[in-house]
Each structure stands twice: as structure tokens, then as C-alpha cells.
Amino acid sequence: MRGIIAVLLGLRVAGVSCRSFGTPHHREFFYTSGQYISETSGDSISRGQVYVEHLIPAFNLTTEPEPLIFIHGGGQTGTNWLNKPDGNPGWSSYFLEKGYEVYIIDQAFRGRSPWTPVNSSDTLTAYGARYAASRYTAPEKFNLWPQAKLHTRWPGNGTKGDSIFDTYYKSLAPNAYLDDPATQQLAVQAGVAELIDQIGRPVTVVGHSQGGIMVWLAADARPNLVKRIVALEPSGPPFIDQVFSQEAARPYGLTDAPLTYDPPIQANTSAESQFRLVTTGSTDPSIGNCTLQDPQEPRQLANLKDIPTLVLQTQASYHAVYDWCTVEFLRQAGVSVDYLNLTHVGIYGNAHLFFLEENSDQIAGVVREWIEK
Ligand SMILES: *[C@@H]1O[C@H](CO)[C@@H](O)[C@H](O)[C@H]1NC(C)=O
Ligand SMILES: *[C@@H]1O[C@H](CO)[C@@H](O)[C@H](O)[C@H]1NC(C)=O
Ligand SMILES: *[C@@H]1O[C@H](CO)[C@@H](O)[C@H](O)[C@H]1NC(C)=O
Ligand SMILES: *[C@@H]1O[C@H](CO)[C@@H](O)[C@H](O)[C@H]1NC(C)=O
Ligand SMILES: *[C@@H]1O[C@H](CO)[C@@H](O)[C@H](O)[C@H]1NC(C)=O
Ligand SMILES: *[C@@H]1O[C@H](CO)[C@@H](O)[C@H](O)[C@H]1NC(C)=O
């Protein structure tokens, strides 16, 4: 017994004691969706399944409000929502402490939702450390967009060699299907829809960045069970990329995979050609160009219209250039959106990975207030 205590004390001296392990909870994991495909050997493998981590508060479980489903962004996995790279508790701890049941997925073909290449053209693409630093953790050192210089909230210097950055960077997982995003999106949509069916009661879906694409698709698939949508700097803006390229993207406006519009988009011809689009040009790189529907009878997002939606944007992210345009598009399409520019509630200096930054709990609090209002 003394030995055990000494070992425990030893661990504390070694630095464990300064860490917080977050909110006590129970945990299970399981998979949804996926299908077997045949291999030439005659055996079969499963593709497209979605890893789900289900956390339940050990104390203080409330039945209201609804469970949260967290969907991480490109190159990331569900670890985004667990503890932060600086060792402090992350958003799952925050919401567990407030009594929420939390579901965290790894997107299909990413992380613990494994992907086995079948065709020779099947490739995985990892974000490099400089790419991650320039866009996420140290944009103020690269200044790739005007608001980048306002970033102050990442702990540590945000580049290679800094232990917090290194811990974050090692958590990244390569992306599959970058050349065919609709296939990947449909797999995630199927997995999240099956998860929502299993939960069997209303949920709030929370998506970040490329995971923001998935919240529209999840709500479109299960409009009666998605009670609220929280889109944290969701991929955008509609139809044409900004900041890093001016290429066509997201032919359904918000997504590459089909969304239900009224009047409907026909599957037999390209989606973007069926919208009447108007681009507002801008010479100001802090605002960017914005492509919306012609305001005369814009198509409506039939399944999303009645779901209260929050779009949250930080001060210093590249999303500060264009999330306003995504919000305009949603409003034209009949969606009731609250647009939260964090500076308007006195929160400054954050960039795209704000839920891993110093003031992450403060921002979680703003989201929780919106959910509970
Ligand atoms: C219980 O939940 C409430 C919010 O619903 C929170 O303020 C409180 O700190 C929680 N208590 C414990 C012991 O976790
Ligand atoms: C492999 O490639 C072929 C030809 O492009 C395609 O028909 C098939 O669906 C692909 N298989 C998988 C599992 O993606
Ligand atoms: C960041 O910190 C690491 C570790 O101290 C150091 O090696 C690196 O040079 C620093 N980078 C910058 C850009 O300050
Ligand atoms: C696509 O389908 C619609 C409805 O079935 C039809 O009216 C239209 O002519 C078709 N367009 C093309 C390009 O085949
Ligand atoms: C708007 O689009 C045009 C044409 O693609 C491009 O030249 C211009 O740089 C864009 N403006 C901004 C602010 O990105
Ligand atoms: C967000 O709010 C700040 C402060 O009011 C403002 O300068 C900025 O233009 C706003 N961003 C957008 C995209 O509206």
C-alpha cells in the first residue's frame, strides 16, 4: 500500500498534479453505418463506418437540454473536443460539467474511422506543420489574410518545436477523398443519421470547419430530430472559395453532397448551374467576394428552414473574411440564423481553433447560452 501511495506521489511530483483531468464521466465507443465490400481475394472489408465516442456525466446528468453531437473539421479527429494540447480540459469537459451527454465522432475515412485504400488512385493527404501553423495556430506570423495579425490566443508560439504545437500537430489525421468530397460527405451523413436514429430523441449538432458541412447534411437527413444547429466557422463561403483560392466549390452552396431545396435541384445536371447566382465583387481582401442566389425567388432549404441555427465566427480567423456571406446565403434560403461575431460579445484574438485556445471555456459558455436560451 505504501509503495502504491509512493508511486502515486511520484507521479504527482513528475508533473501530473498540475493537470486537470476534466469532468468525471462514463465512456463507451461504437460504430455506425459502413458497409462490406468484396476484395479480389474473396474476403471482404468494411468501408465508410463512423466511430462514435459517447460520454455521459458521472454526476449532474440533466435530461434537458438535448445531447450534443460534435463533428470535427478537415485533417482533425474527435480528439479536438477532448482535452486541449496544453493539457487543460476541452469542450467535452465543459459541457459534461454542465450536465450534457456528449457524442464525438471521427468522420468517415479519418482517424479511428479507418479507411483501406482499394484503388491505386486512393490517396490520403496530410496537412503539413507549416500549413497548420499558418492557418490555425500562428496566423499572425504569416499574415495570409488581413485579420490574421489580430490573433493572440493560442498557447505557446504555435509553430514546430513548441511542445503545445507539436502535441496538437501530432493529433492530425490525413484526409481521404479530397478530389471527391461528396463521397466522403455522404458517408459521414449516413453515419450521423444512423447515430441520431439510435439516440432516438432530439439532438444539437455542433460542427467545426469542414465538419460544418456535415451539420447541414445531418439536419437535412433528420430534420425532425435535429433540434438546433451550431456551425462553428463552417466551410464556406457558398459556391466559390475565397482567401486561399477563387475556385468553384460546394455546388449545393453549403455542401458538395446533395441538399434538399425547394424547388429541388435535379440530379441529372450540375447543381450549381441550376441556381441563379449573383456575385458581389470586392476589392477589399478583409471582406472578400460573395456569391448568393438572385434575390428574386431564391431556392429554399426545405428541411433546414425550421431549425434554429447559430453561425459563430472569431476575430482573427480566415473565416472573418467570409462567414458573413454564408450567413446571407442561409437567410436567403429561409434558414433562421443567429450570426455571432465573437468581437460583438467582447471576445478578441481567437482564430480558427478557438476551442483549443486559452479562452476556450469562455466561448463554450457563449455557445451554451445560445443553446439554452
Ligand atoms: C451541475 O450543472 C450545473 C449547470 O447545469 C453547473 O452549474 C454545476 O456546476 C454542475 N455541478 C456539478 C457538481 O458538476
Ligand atoms: C475503384 O475504382 C473503380 C473505377 O473507377 C470504381 O468503379 C469503384 O467504385 C472504386 N472502388 C471503390 C471501393 O471506391
Ligand atoms: C517556438 O518555440 C520553439 C520551442 O521553444 C522554438 O524551437 C522555436 O524556434 C520557436 N519558434 C518561433 C517562430 O518562435
Ligand atoms: C433532368 O430531369 C428533369 C426532370 O426529370 C428534366 O425536366 C430535365 O430535362 C432533365 N435535364 C437533363 C439535362 O437531362
Ligand atoms: C474577387 O474575385 C476576383 C475574380 O476572381 C478576384 O480577382 C478578386 O481578387 C476577388 N476579390 C477578393 C477581395 O478576393
Ligand atoms: C465583427 O465585428 C468587428 C467589431 O465590430 C468588426 O470590425 C468586423 O467587421 C465584424 N466582422 C464581420 C465579418 O462583420
Residue 321 — φ and ψ, nearest 5°? -70, -35
Q: Please, which pLDDT band fits residue 185 given cuts at 50, 70 and 90?
A: very high
**Rounded to the nearest whole angstrom, what is the distance from the C-alpha of residue 318 to the centroid of ligand 3?**
23
295 vs 5, which has greater pLDDT?
295
What cell numbers appear for 84 in the block? 486541449
Q: Which three cell numbers stand for residue 58?
A: 458521472
Q: Using the mean position of ligand 1's atoms as its centre, give its distance from the Cα of residue 234 in Å.
A: 29
The length of the chain, given as a count of residues: 373
* DSSP, res 244: S
Decide: helix, strand or coil at residue 89: coil
Determine whether the shortest distance from the Cβ of 119 to ligand 4 is under 6 A. Answer: no
Ligand nearest to the CA of 266: 4
pLDDT at position 5:
37
Which residue's CA is minimally distant from atom 5 of ligand 4?
266
The full set of domains in the chain, from first to last, is: 2-372 (3.40.50.1820)
3-state secondary structure of 311: strand
Supply the pLDDT for residue 40: 85
Predicted pLDDT of residue 63: 66
Protein residues whose CB sits closer than 6 Å to any atom of ligand 2: 37, 118-119
Q: 268 CB less than 6 Å from ligand 4?
A: yes
- Please give the radius of gyration of the chain, using alpha carbons only, rounded to the nearest integer: 21
Q: Kindly report the average pLDDT of the chain as a whole number.
A: 93
pLDDT (tens digit per residue) in 325-337: 999 999 999 999 9
Q: Which of 334, 342, 35 is nearest to 191 (CA)?
A: 35
Q: Is the pLDDT of residue 258 over 90?
A: yes
Ligand 1 atom having least distance to the Cα of 60:
1
Which residue from 162, 163, 167, 169 has its CB within 8 A of the most atoms of ligand 3, so it is best to mutate? 162
Note the ligand closest to the C-alpha atom of 22.
1
Determine the pLDDT at residue 10: 33
The residue whose CA is least distant from atom 9 of ligand 3 is 161
Question: Residue 6's pLDDT band (boundaries 50, 70, 90)?
Answer: very low
**CB neighbours of residue 141 within 10 Å:** 14
What's the confidence (pLDDT) of residue 271?
95
Nearest CA to ligand 1 atom 5: 98
d(CA 59, CA 25): 8
Q: What is the pLDDT of residues 119-164, one digit of tens each?
A: 888 899 999 999 999 999 999 999 999 999 999 999 999 999 999 9
Q: Ligand 3 pocket: which of 137, 141, 157, 163 to mutate (most atoms <8 Å of CB)?
A: 157
- The ligand with the least distance to the CA atom of 312 is 6
Helix (H, G, I), strand (E, B) or coil at 262: strand
pLDDT at 112: 98
State the CB neighbour count (10 A cutoff) for residue 346: 8
Q: Is 329 helix (H, G, I), strand (E, B) or coil?
A: helix
Best of 269, 270, 273, 274 for a ligand 4 pocket test (most atoms within 8 Å of beta carbon) = 269
Provide the β-strand partners of residue 369.
none
- How far CA 22 is from CA of 89, 151, 366, 368, in Å, comes to 5, 27, 19, 18
pLDDT at 1: 35
What is the distance in A from the centroid of ligand 4 to the CA of 266? 7
Q: Is 336 a catalytic residue?
A: no
267 Cα–ligand 4 center, Å: 8
pLDDT score, position 19: 58
CA of 270 to the centre of ligand 4 (A): 11
The pLDDT score that the predictor gives to residue 305 is 95
pLDDT at 120: 83
What pLDDT shows up at residue 3?
37
Which residues form the pocket of ligand 3, taking CB atoms under 6 Å from any ligand atom? 157, 159, 161-162
pTM of the model: 0.92
Task: Show the ligand 1 pocket: residues with CB < 6 angstroms.
Answer: 59-60, 97-99
Q: Is 98 exposed, middle or buried (CB count within 10 Å of its CB: 0-12, 13-18, 19+)?
A: middle
Q: Which of 209, 235, 317, 360 is catalytic?
A: 209
Shortest-distance atom of ligand 3 to CA 138: 13
DSSP assignment of 121-163 equals T--EEPPPHHHHIIIII-GGGT--SGGGGG---SSS--STT-H
pLDDT tens-digit readout, 30-89: 999 999 999 889 999 999 999 999 999 998 777 667 999 999 999 999 999 999 999 999
The per-residue DSSP string of 180-217 comes to -HHHHHHHHHHHHHHHHHHH-S-EEEEEETHHHHHHHH
Query: For 310, phi and psi rounded to 5 degrees?
Result: -115, 130
Could you give the percent of the chain with pLDDT greater than 70? 94
Atom of ligand 5 nearest to the CA of 284: 13
Q: Is 267 in the pocket of ligand 4 (CB under 6 A)?
A: no
pLDDT band for 14, please (50, 70, 90 cuts).
Answer: very low
Contact 69, 79 (CB under 8 A): no
Sign of the alpha-carbon dihedral angle for 261, 262, 265, 271: negative
**Does pLDDT of 183 surpass 50?**
yes
